[in-house]
Amino acid sequence: MMLRPAMAAIVLIASASFSFAANAKGFSFDSHAATCGASAADASDCEAAKLKGKKDYASALKGDYQAQRNTAYCLYTGCRGYRTDKAAACAWRIVIIASGNPKVDPSDTSNLTLCERQLSPAEMSAASGAAHTLFRQVYKREMPRL
């Protein structure tokens, strides 16, 4: 009987970290892009939003502070063009804080605190692990301790 909770935790961690799976090129927007609707007007609007999201994500991967905030926000809330992924949003929030960017402000810390409250400990652990990988991809160095 003790195996079932342990197995459930493993499944939870695996599913929480699944969206973070980096391909050979690293993290990309494509794993977070929403599926567009069937109508032509909806699909056109959605594709435009996805293009904006892809540009923001690319800028975030280059260390752009505001693009990182936009990416984290859209992953958390599910902006048009994004699939909601709170664990990925939290990984970005960790990266933002760890970046040491002088623009980091108390709202960034508050957003990370909100993430920590919304995720289970296992999900937060997966987000933290993903943040380390993401930080290395963005900044080409190890993430400092927070």
Report the pLDDT value the prediction gives residue 4, as an integer from 0 to 100. 43
pLDDT class of 38 with cuts at 50, 70, 90:
low
Q: Does the pLDDT value for residue 136 go beyond 50?
A: yes
Q: Does the pLDDT value for residue 116 go beyond 80?
A: yes
Q: Does the pLDDT value for residue 109 go beyond 60?
A: yes
Average pLDDT of the residues in 27-37: 71
- In three state form, how does the secondary structure of the chain look? CCHHHHHHHHHHHHHHHHCCCCECCECCHHHHECCCCCCHHHHHHHHHHHHHHHHHHHHHHCCCHHHHHHHHHHHHHCCCCECCCHHHHHHHHHHHHHCCCCCCCHHHHHHHHHHHHHCCHHHHHHHHHHHHHHHHHHHCCCCCCC
pTM exceeds cut of 0.75: yes
Domain ranges of the chain: 50-146
Instruction: Give the pLDDT confidence of 51-96 residue by residue, as tens digits.
Output: 888 999 999 999 999 999 999 999 999 888 788 999 999 999 999 9
